[in-house]
A and B are shown apart, each in its own frame.
Chain A
Amino acid sequence: MQNNAIQVKGLQKSYKKLQVLKGVDFEVEKGSIFALLGSNGLNQMLERLKKKNGVLTMFLSVSNLTKSYNTGIISHVLKGVDLEMERGQIGVILGPSGSGKSTLMNIIGGVDRADGGTVEVDDERITDLDDKQLVEYRRESVGFVFQYYNLVPNLTVAENIEVVSNISKRPLNTDEVLAAVGLSDKKNRFPRELSGGEQQRVSIARAIVKNPKLLLCDEPTGALDLEASQDVLALLEKVNAQFGTTILMITHNSAIAGMAHAVFRLRSGEVAEVAHNSELIAAERIEW
């Protein structure tokens, strides 16, 4: 300590809920010249933060979101949800059945409307969009992966992917996407002829062919066994790394949370807990 002019230990700093410093440790000896060099990660992180009116903003920002359903009895499904994600992150929403996970994801995806609060995706306030604008939002910006794949049964694998590339402004090449998900040899098969894991990979290929800003996955491994689930999660990891796609996943399986940058625990319509993982677990090492 006597020789150290500067000693920094476990320094943390958050700025508008953005954790800028996550536990910095370093020492500088007396009389030494030191330079603070920006790391790739730091630069990327800064790049992900956009400036809006001189203020740094998140890629996905959900603020005080409420939603109720009236099925004879009024159910308050979301009671003021707050949630933020940086661009390029993987986020996981955990929660028991009935906690409002799907409702939250549907509103973020522009499939459903909130009763109150706001959702902003890439500086676009989704909650202010009309029906036609929501169609365009889903068309351009969002990819969906469903628990039960939702493939069109009478279209081939390649054609199922074309369903989305057909309406995209700048779609990726179908064959390249098929190669990325490891299904080039099955492009002319029908969904019924594939395993669950393979069908889910087709579903992921369909979602990413438009190169969406945001990929929403509703229980992507819910219908799969462990091995298939690991393959699918690894694929999602790859998509995130290769394309920089922001991924938000719903799952009731807390083991999957280990691969996410941000974990949101939903309970009774509210975010009960937010956690950020400094170190991510690789998908193939996730087990349950």
Chain B
Amino acid sequence: MVMALLNRIWRMIKENKGRYIGIVILILLGSFYFIAATGVANNLEKMVVGFAEEYSQEDLTFSTDRPIENIAALESESGAVIEAYRQYDVKLPNGELRLLGLPSKINLPAVLSGRGLENPGEILLDPNFCMLHGLKIGDQIELNGKPFHIVGTMAVPNYVYIIKNLYDVLPTNGFGIGIVSATDIEAFPEAVTVYAAIFEDRENLNAQIAKLHELLSEKGYSLSEWIDAKSNKRISLPWGNITSMKSMSFPVSMVFFLLSCLIVGVMITRMVKSDSVVIGTLYAQGYRRRELTWHYMAIPVLLSAGGGLAGILLALPCVKPVVDSMLVFYILPAKGITFSPLNLSLAVLMPVAFIGLSSFLVVRKVLKKTAGELMKGDEQKAKVNSLERALRLDRFKFNTKFQIREQIRSIPRLLFLVLGVSAASMILLYGFTFNYSMDVVMDKGALARYRYPLEYNFKEVRNIQDGGIPEGAEPYNAFRGYPEGRQVVEFYLVGMEPDSIGFNINDMQGNPLSRDQVNITSPLASRLKLKEGDTIRFVNKLDGKSYSLTIDGIVQAYGEQVVYMPLDEFNRMTGQPLGSYRTVLSSHEIDFDPSLLAGVMDARHPEAYEDLNRPTTLIVTSVTTLAVLIAVIIIFLVTSLMIDESRNTISLLKVLGYRGKELAKLILNSSTPAVFIGFWLGLPFMLAFGNILYGIVAEMMNMVIPMIVNPLYVLISFVLIFAVYEITQWLCGRKLAKISMSEALKAGTE
């Protein structure tokens, strides 16, 4: 390729800098998002999975009423490795520290700083606890009068998310964990024994867990705080972030790359057609088709490779801060940040492949013609497409006619605008809807269901006949189950008294449902495609037993997956004595013996749970910024193209006496209907996309997030998109003003 043609490429890029920068940014966003999302997800997963594997994370934890006699025999019967460790909660002036005896087989601690335990009287603490209480390595801490020397900080695999009780949602203020030697913990006589189990066979964990439960029950042990890793929030919470990031990374990047394909296709078509006489001349001079193809492919390939590389380079330093911000909530050993070579290659190769291929097809189409045909210049003549020909606009005012024709003149350009605005609107609406849905779940979801705001969960089953339930409190019994054949869809089956009022249970119209029947929450019903009169067949996760119930009512709910039934029927069904309960709901505080309690849930101050929503606020802010940026780029690119394509017309209109504002109205405002349609298309796209995404999250995390669209946020999104549109139009108006009348005076045919 001669140097002159190469020079031409750089000149062409320089002549339309703004436009090419816009396209590079679109591609960059796609690559950036892909690398950032996969980077965060993969690194988090690597940390979480790595930690679990390297440090032997438990599959199950439980407590018994008495020490297990022959652990080795139980291990060989159940196929599990079982370890007992001691645990004791020490009350401190401004907090509480859970001491754990140093294990040797399961849940091994990872030293984050300092060193491991070597001598008696040494302690490892979790780093958040140290920060909160102003402690550092080398300090001493006194626990029940016994001094301990802090030798390091640690993470344990069964306390990735440090909550005090298994049923807690938020970390308890001032609560932390510490590891001491097995000898040292024996100095605390009130320490309890807790068991952890890992199964050697990694398949069918639920069945193995159920089998172990059966074995222990047969041996006469009474079990409490029986919880598997997947249901244990201390272990499972990071997976929500990992799953949603992974599932979004590919589709979102694809949207950016496809949009870029469209606009690059439009630009290359224009470029090649306007150069058709030149191309024909070069053909006639002896240039080969291949040489000319590569010449015109150079710009799209350069743009896509450049954008892809830039996206990668920008994303690489962003991953660590995002992962670190998530590690504020999760205590994990930080491994170095790594990136998959495959993903890095894809981030460049995908845009090059997409955009390269679409450009190649466009260029080849023109280059198929002979030199003679090209030199005639027919390609340069503005063609009228069939839609333009078919339209009869007689009844419209001139301005409307002109604007309609201006838009439909280039269908790919129009499509790019509509789809681009849809994408931006979709992202914007998605962010707001996600945030609002989470707010609704907080306001009207599980917490709002508690009319009696205090939930006391006992370690062992109790009975109403034994007394102890005061006025204003109600007994409940529950177990965790899953539908037959769908282990991932776990839900609570809750038994309640027929006259209970502790939970709000209303139908879809808001009318109270009878408690003396089987009621299912609407998210669960929707997920399992159940309606009133249908039968649900399910398995008790604890013991593997199967049951079936007929649905009598659907409960209006936001996210929760629960089946409610009469308490007596529950106890009969599960073979427990009538009056058995494990939970008490109360309207006021009850002074239960803390040693009997597995946990207490306090729904009196729901605003305390707003902290849980902090990650979503971050997501909404970044998503809103992203959407606005996309809208600006797309509207700017299209308007810029439109002005370019209409240069001669604009110049002519100036000669004919059109005023600046009239021109702006005619040319720039012609895009308004397309932007309007694009926005309203974004709404159904968002609902479809959101449903798919939420469905994935539901299947993977067993967390049903309802999609609730707030009209106010739709209005805000609309205003934002149109504000961006107006501002971009104003900026493009300056480009319009620069077009000189001499272009029309010198122009031949357009």
Which residues of A are interface residues toward B (Cβ below 8 A)?
102, 106, 109, 111-112, 132, 135-140, 142, 144, 146, 148-150, 152-155, 158-159, 162-167, 188, 190, 192, 218
Contact = CB atoms under 8 A, between A and B. Distances in A.
Interface residues of B, number: 35
Contacts of B748: 148
Given A144-B655, A159-B401, A192 B384 contact: yes
A167 B657 contact: yes
B747 A148 contact: yes
A164 B745 contact: no
Contact of A154 (B384, B399, B655, B741): B384
Given A148-B748, A152-B649, A155-B405, A167 B658 contact: yes
A148 B745 CA distance: 9
B655 A138 contact: yes
Given A111-B745, A150-B652, 17 more contacts: A102-B745, A106-B745, A112-B742, A135-B657, A144-B656, A148-B748, A149-B749, A153-B384, A159-B393, A162-B398, A163-B398, A165-B398, A166-B398, A167-B656, A167-B658, A190-B389, A192-B381
A140 B659 CA distance: 12
Given A159-B402, A190-B389, A135 B659 contact: yes
Interface string B387-422: 011001110001101100110010000000000000
11 contacts: A111-B742, A132-B659, A139-B658, A152-B652, A165-B398, A166-B398, A167-B656, A167-B657, A192-B381, A192-B382, A192-B384
A164 B405 contact: no
Contacts of B658: 135, 139, 167
Listed residue (A150, A155, A159, A167) with the most chain B CB atoms within 10 angstroms of its CB: A150
Nearest to B656: A164
A150 B744 contact: yes
A121 to B, nearest CB: 14
A81 to B, nearest CB: 18
A159 B397 CA distance: 10
Interface in B92-106: none
Interface string B709-730: 0000000000000000000000
B648 A150 contact: yes
A132 B742 CA distance: 17
A222 to B, nearest CB: 11
B657 A140 contact: yes
B653 interface: yes
Contacts of B406: 154
Given A106-B745, A167-B662, A159 B398 contact: yes
A162 B656 CA distance: 12
Contacts of A188: 392
A130 to B, nearest CB: 13
A71 to B, nearest CB: 13
B186 interface: no
Listed residue (B382, B398, B741) with the most chain A CB atoms within 10 angstroms of its CB: B398
A137 B655 CA distance: 11
B741 A111 contact: yes
B648 to A, nearest CB: 7
Contacts of A146: 744-745
Contacts of A153: 381-382, 384, 750
B652 to A, nearest CB: 5
B388 A148 contact: no
Lowest 10 A-B CB distances belong to which pairs? A139-B657, A153-B382, A138-B657, A166-B398, A162-B398, A148-B748, A190-B384, A154-B409, A154-B405, A152-B649
Interface in B661-707: 662
A192 B383 contact: yes
A205 to B, nearest CB: 13
A166 to B, nearest CB: 4
Contact of A148 (B389, B654, B657, B749): B749
Nearest to B401: A159
Interface of B: 381-384, 388-389, 392-394, 398-399, 401-402, 405-406, 409, 648-649, 652-659, 662, 741-742, 744-745, 747-750
A146 B406 CA distance: 23
Contacts of A132: 659
Contacts of B648: 150
Given A144-B655, A167-B657, A154 B747 contact: no
Contacts of B384: 153-154, 190, 192
Contacts of B383: 192
Contacts of A102: 745
A154 B649 CA distance: 10
Contacts of B659: 132, 135, 139
B378 to A, nearest CB: 10
Nearest to A223: B748
A225 to B, nearest CB: 17
B657 A136 contact: yes
Listed residue (B662, B744, B749) with the most chain A CB atoms within 10 angstroms of its CB: B749
Given A111-B745, A139-B657, A154 B388 contact: yes
A163 B657 contact: no
B388 A138 contact: no
B376 to A, nearest CB: 14
Nearest to B645: A154
A158 B402 CA distance: 12
A163 B401 contact: no
B747 A150 contact: yes
A133 to B, nearest CB: 11
Contacts of A140: 657
Contacts of B747: 148, 150
A218 to B, nearest CB: 8
A98 to B, nearest CB: 14
B646 to A, nearest CB: 9
Nearest to A105: B745
A139 B654 CA distance: 9
Contacts of B392: 188
Nearest to B388: A154
A255 to B, nearest CB: 24
Given A150-B648, A192-B383, A163 B655 contact: no
Listed residue (A112, A136, A166, A192) with the most chain B CB atoms within 10 angstroms of its CB: A166
A142 to B, nearest CB: 8
A268 B748 CA distance: 25
B402 A155 contact: yes
B661 to A, nearest CB: 11
B537 to A, nearest CB: 65
B665 to A, nearest CB: 12
Contacts of B394: 158
B382 A163 contact: no
Contacts of A135: 654, 657-659
A150 B655 CA distance: 11
Contacts of B750: 153
A199 B653 CA distance: 17
Contact of B382 (A138, A139, A144, A154): A154
Contacts of A163: 398, 402, 653, 656
A153 B394 CA distance: 17
B384 to A, nearest CB: 5
Nearest to A159: B401
Contacts of A155: 401-402, 405
Contacts of A159: 393, 398, 401-402, 405
A135 B389 CA distance: 33
Contacts of B388: 154, 190
A140 B382 CA distance: 30
Nearest to B405: A154
A153 B646 CA distance: 10
